[in-house]
Amino acid sequence: MTDQELIAPELPEQKDPADSLNESGWYKVANSEDIGSLKAIQIDNFPTQIVVWRGEDASLRGLDLYCKHMGASLACGEVNENSIQCPFHAWRWAGDGKCDQIPYAKKIPVKAVTRSWEVIEDNGAVYVWFDKEQKSADPKGQKFN
Ligand code: FES
């Protein structure tokens, strides 16, 4: 994979979820079997582009797809413990959206935070919570397949 594939010359356009006409609810984005142990996949069938991965603890987590540092696709990164490590400069992002590790840096910038998405599995399907105003997930919310 070339650097050009990993990182765009300008920050890729992360679709604004606020522009979506989707109702609030849980959206099926994949089957559980699509995301094996320590794997990450890109999700495009959602109001914005996201990465979903399975950590060491077997749980799924989701973030905006493009790294907040310089825009590389986190789906090309590696799962490291329960976080996802960017393929370009190895910043590591936790499921809550906070950067939890930068190689060689003594301090993590306060602004190194990205948007996180709540992910669940149910009957072999993977769902991500969507709400236009970023309200917290409703465990009993409607599911869309
Ligand atoms: S682009 Fe992700 S760490 Fe630099």
Q: What is the pLDDT of residues 68-126, one digit of tens each?
A: 999 999 999 999 999 999 999 999 999 999 999 999 899 999 999 999 999 999 999 99
Tell the residue nearest (CA) to atom 3 of ligand 1.
Answer: 89
In a domain, 71, yes or no: yes
Give the residue carrying structure tokens 């604004």.
16
Residue 93 identity: W
23 Cα: distance to centroid of ligand 1 (angstroms): 32
Residues in the chain: 145
C-alpha torsion angle, residues 36, 40, 44, 45 (rounded to 10): 30
- Per-residue confidence (pLDDT) for residue 125, from 0 to 100: 98
Domain with 123, as residue range(s), is 3-7+26-129
Within-domain flag for 102: yes
Q: Report how far ligand 1's centroid is from the alpha carbon of 55 (Å).
A: 20
Question: Is 18 a domain residue?
Answer: no
| Probe target for ligand 1 pocket from 6, 70, 83, with the most ligand atoms within 8 Å of CB | 70
Expressed in angstroms and rounded, the spacing between residue 105 Cα and the centre of ligand 1 is: 13
Q: d(Cα 136, Cα 117) in Å, to the nearest integer?
A: 10
Full-model pTM: 0.91
